Amino acid sequence: MEMKTCRVAWIELSMFAKCVLRAEARGVRPAQAYARAKNRLERWINGERDSLWREVMKEDVRAKGKKKRTGGMTGKVREQRVNKLSSMGRARKAIQGLISPGVAADTSTVRSRLAAKFPGRSIPISIVQGFLPAAAGAEVEDFLKMVHSFDASAGAGPSGLKPQFIKELVGEGGDAPCVQALFDVTMLFVEGRVPNFLRQWYAGGTLVGIGKDDKPLDEDARPIVVGEFWRRVAGKVSLLADNEAVGGWLKPCQVAVGIKAGAEVIVHSLRQWWERNRDNTRLILLKKTNASNEAEPNAFLNTACRQMPGSARLAEWCYGEGVNLIYNGEVFKQSTRGQQGCPLMMPMFCATKKEMRDRIEEVSGLAFAADFADDGVDGGDYEEV
């Protein structure tokens, strides 16, 4: 009976956002939207959860019947969006709107390209040390700090729960009565104690295809996985215990973790080094395409046990089994490797890459060796390179 109660509780938690917090259609006034949300909440409290979920399913069927988006936006629509963001004081988003190619079209070609970027697992997972390290300890204050680190525009995972809702729920001071309960749920993820039947959903996410600068929007896309709020905030909390140690260990060759403006650091450092050593010097530019999605869990989970012990249990819970990717409201594919967009993926990938580099003795003899995630530059005398 206890297990059944637990299962029902998790299912209802997963239903809540879509049943109660769902977005209203455009044109609905705030007061009207508030009244509707309040009515749905009262119905939820009164036990009308089945009927609320049937409404969600009905709306989902209606939405699927709409014409699929073609991707991108016209110049006029882009201009209007940028002007609106600027007027709201959101300069960073406005600049991003100017330079981003936008969301790729939902075409058979794009779907095929996206599917190919998530290859199957080729190596079984075997934790070499035989056990997972203890999870990172955390305080409520750590949880609150990480909740407030989410941008107001951060997207929701498949359940529809947006980080902004949790930010408003806990309040600025974090003294709301619900804070302890939210923290306890987060720590279940950090410690890898969330029931296994939820892994395929909570460890997966919504797949978004972002257009590429050099490709038409109906031909190819860069895959980003927007995970559930709980796993994302748990990733941020667990990394608090690991970031300082792993960031220091990665320096100075890997600048994607623990270094602000790391991309700019590597560019300026390389330029200065090249100006000083351009005689008899060669460079090799290294680029690993689609690196995060092709990373083998057996490699990066063992690295996490060694270099990021506080996050290892959450990492194994997320990547120890295949998980579902949701694309435009449908289960698109099972992911059995890494996911670009996961808070844990960048430091795990960088740590794994450093361990691989450290096993190559010749690298230590190079005059310049630096990486930013999967991009790298090796430089030195002609013979050494």
Distances (CA, A) of 18 to 1, 9, 15, 41, 165: 27, 15, 6, 11, 13
Higher pLDDT, 29 or 217: 29
Residues 204 and 266 placed together within one structural domain of the fold: yes
Q: Do both 220 and 143 map to the same domain?
A: yes
Asked whether residue 282 falls in the same domain as residue 343, the answer is yes
Same domain? For 52 and 84 the reply is no
Q: Tens digit of pLDDT for each residue in 320-331?
A: 999 999 998 889
Q: Please indicate, yes or no, whether residues 39 and 166 belong to a single structural domain of this protein.
A: no
Mark whether 200 and 248 lie in a shared domain: yes
Judge if 325 and 183 occupy the same domain: yes
User: Looking at residue 210, what is its pLDDT?
Assistant: 87
Q: What mean pLDDT comes out for the span 333-346?
A: 89
pLDDT mean across residues, the chain: 86
Are residues 185 and 333 both part of a single domain?
Answer: yes
Which has the minimum average pLDDT: 127-136, 244-253, 316-325, 374-383? Answer: 374-383
Query: Distance (Å, rounded) from C-alpha 365 to C-alpha 369?
Result: 9
In this predicted structure, the answer to whether residue 154 has a pLDDT above a threshold of 80 is yes
Asked whether 333 and 276 are in contact (CB, 8 A), the reply is no
Strands 323-327 and 205-210: parallel
pLDDT of residue 24: 83
297 has pLDDT over 80:
yes
Tell me: pLDDT of 366 over 80: no
**Torsion over CA of 77, 112, 220 and 338, rounded to 10 degrees?**
100
Query: Nearest-CA neighbor of 290 among 341, 222, 242, 215?
Result: 222
Which amino acid would we find at residue 291?
A
Band of pLDDT at residue 10, cut at 50, 70 and 90:
very high
Q: Which residue has the higher pLDDT, 210 or 367?
A: 210
Question: Are 134 and 41 in the same domain?
Answer: no
Torsion over CA of 50, 65, 102 and 116, rounded to 10 degrees? 90
pLDDT at res. 275: 81
For residue 198, the enclosing domain spans: 101-381
Q: What was the pLDDT predicted at 192?
A: 95
Backbone angles phi, psi at 259, to 5 degrees: -130, 120
Cα–Cα distance measured from residue 81 to residue 87, given in angstroms and rounded to the nearest whole number = 10
Q: Do 220 and 147 lie in a common domain? A: yes
Asked if 163 and 170 count as a contact pair (C-beta separation under 8 A), the reply is: no
Name the one residue in this structure whose structure tokens are 């808070």: 343
**φ, ψ at 372 (rounded to 5°):** -125, 100
What confidence tier does 274 reach under pLDDT thresholds 50, 70, 90?
A: confident
Task: Band the pLDDT of 183: cuts 50, 70, 90.
Answer: very high
For position 131, what pLDDT does the model report? 92
Residues 116 and 187 reside in one and the same domain: yes
pLDDT surpasses 80 at 195: yes
Of 19, 50, 66, the residue at which a domain comes to its end is: 66
Residue 258's pLDDT band (cuts 50, 70, 90) = confident
> Mean pLDDT over residues 338-343, rounded?
89
- Please, are residues 337 and 265 in contact by the beta-carbon 8 Å criterion? no
The predicted model gives 142-170 an average pLDDT of 93
Q: Quote the CA–CA distance of 348 and 170 in Å, as a whole number.
A: 30
Domain boundary among 17, 44, 66: 66
pLDDT for residue 288: 58
Q: Given a cut of 90, is residue 378 above it in pLDDT?
A: no
- pLDDT-derived band of residue 245, with 50, 70 and 90 as boundaries? confident
Can you tell me the distance from the alpha carbon of 339 to that of 345, in angstroms, rounded to the nearest whole number? 7
Percent of the chain predicted with pLDDT > 90:
46
Among 146-150, 158-162, 245-249, the minimum mean pLDDT is found in: 245-249
In sequence order, the 6+-apart residues with CB closer than 8 A to the CB of 25 are none
Number of structural domains found in the chain: 3
Task: For residues 355 and 370, state if they share a domain.
Answer: yes
The confidence band for 385, taking pLDDT boundaries of 50, 70 and 90, is: low
